[in-house]
Amino acid sequence: MGLVSALEHVVKKPIWDCRMCGQCVLHDTGMTCPMTCPKTLRNGPCGGVREDGHCEVKPEMRCVWVKAEERSRTLPLMPQDWRDHFNNLRPPVDNRLQGTSSWQNLLSGRDRETPPGWTPEPAEAEQAEA
């Protein structure tokens, strides 16, 4: 672990229970880390959320996405576009970035690289056809 990633871990671990995925999306998810979801879901809550809003896997824990959804609406001082990005389709995790600094990856643009076959929405032609 490099110096920057060590520093990032020291800051983010106590506050967000950061798992150092290296491709941080906290700002889009109500400042709630989706990697703390037992299924590491990055695109919203699974269908197993309990009636009391707790996690299917860990009944003692509030669902990460229930928390994220609430906080994306209610947290003060958050820029509006962070709130607006909540329902965006986030790409698959790049497992090679595990343990690296998302701060460095943000600056270099590495955290926005997606697989060549991935586009956020189906192609135009497909939409027209459908």
Partner 1 sequence: MSRLGELLERGDELIITGEAPVIDGGTLADYETKLAELAPWCDAMNATDNTAAHAHASNVAMAIAMQRLGVEPILQVVCRDKNRIAQQADIMGAALHGVENICCLTGDDVTAGDESEARRVFDLDGPQLIRLASSLREGRYLSGRSVGTPPALVIGAVENPGAPPLDYRAQRAAKKIMAGARYLQLQICYHPDRLEAFVAALHQGGWTERCAILPSVVAVKGAGPLRFMDASVPGISVPAEVIGRVADAAEPAEEAYRLVREQCEHALSLPGVRGLHLTDFRKDGSMARLCTDLGIKPRSEREQHAHHRVVAV
74 near partner 1, judged by CB under 8 A: no
Q: Which of 2, 7, 84, 87 binds partner 1 (CB under 8 A)?
A: 87
DSSP 8-state secondary structure symbol assigned to residue 88: S
Least Å distance, CB 119 to partner 1, is: 8
Residues whose CB falls within 8 Å of the CB of residue 92, separated by 6 or more in sequence, listed in order: 114, 115, 118
Return the residue of 44, 83, 94, 106 that touches partner 1, per CB under 8 A.
Answer: 44
Site for partner 1 (CB under 8 A): which residue of 48, 75, 108, 112? 48
54 neighbors 45 (Cβ within 8 angstroms): no
Q: Are 33 and 26 in contact (CB under 8 A)?
A: yes
For residues 3 to 32, the per-residue mask of contacts with partner 1, x marking binding by CB under 8 A and - elsewhere, is ------------------------------
Between CA 73 and CA 68 the distance in angstroms is 9
Residue for token pair 């459908």: 130
Q: Which member of 41, 85, 103, 104 binds partner 1 (CB under 8 A)?
A: 41
Degrees to nearest 5, angle at CA 113 with 112 and 117: 125
Which spans of this chain sit near partner 1 (rule: CB under 8 A)?
38-51, 53, 56-57, 63, 65-66, 69-70, 87, 89-93, 95, 115-123, 126, 130
